[in-house]
Amino acid sequence: MTEISENERWLLSYYRSSEINGALFFGRVARTIRGPLQVEVTHHFADEAAHAKLWTRCLDDLGLLPVKLSDSYQDRYLAAIGAPANLMEVMAITQVFERRVITQYRRHLRHSGTHPAVRQTIERIMEDERWHISYVKEALEGMAGRYGAEEIERTLARFTAADEEVYKGTLAEYGDRMEFLEWQS
């Protein structure tokens, strides 16, 4: 049986807390949103909550307790960009952080030594993450008429820059913990 290292336990705890943050973010959006995206956003909220449940169960099945984390990359990212001004900004914020999440999960899957329970959890979650990326992309494309394609591009570029900055800071602080993800990247 593959042993889970302390760094990997940290990483699984970090995934769990990221999914909780995602659920809390989309829960707030789902509570206030009106109109055509209400169904998708509420579904998205439920998915992120389910992902938090899957990580919590995975850790528990492995006989591990989540590490207590102070603040996550998402907290910092959301703090860096400030409250979204409209639904377009919500979708742009989402596209950038969903990409970050999916990249991390893909990198994790590349490790041949990944425990089967961890692998299964990531693969299950990725099914939903792929849908998140695609509905958000469509939603943003559909908003071009209202907000202007250029404005959407500018917003995405601004949030991507914030994401990279914050992720760099997270790496600087937790580099040892995250080595697992950066390896072979």
* Chain residues in the site for Fe ion (CB under 5 A): 19, 48, 51, 98, 129, 132
Q: Select from 78, 88, 102, 74 the least CA-distant residue to 155.
A: 88
Q: Is 33 or 151 the residue whose CB approaches Fe ion more closely?
A: 33
Residues 6+ apart with CB under 8 A from 100: 73, 163, 167
Q: Select from 10, 29, 15 the least CA-distant residue to 100.
A: 15
Q: Is 19 or 89 the residue whose CB approaches Fe ion more closely?
A: 19
Shortest distance, position 28 Cβ to Fe ion, whole Å? 15
Shortest distance, position 10 Cβ to Fe ion, whole Å? 18
- For helices 87-109 and 149-182, what crossing angle results, to 10°? 30
Q: Is 44 or 177 the residue whose CB approaches Fe ion more closely?
A: 44
Q: Is 98 or 163 the residue whose CB approaches Fe ion more closely?
A: 98
Shortest distance, position 127 Cβ to Fe ion, whole Å? 10
Shortest distance, position 182 Cβ to Fe ion, whole Å? 21
42: its two tokens: 């509420």
Q: Is 8 or 48 the residue whose CB approaches Fe ion more closely?
A: 48
Shortest distance, position 167 Cβ to Fe ion, whole Å? 17
Dihedral of CA 133/156/24/31: which sign? negative
Residue 68 phi, psi (nearest 5):
-80, 125
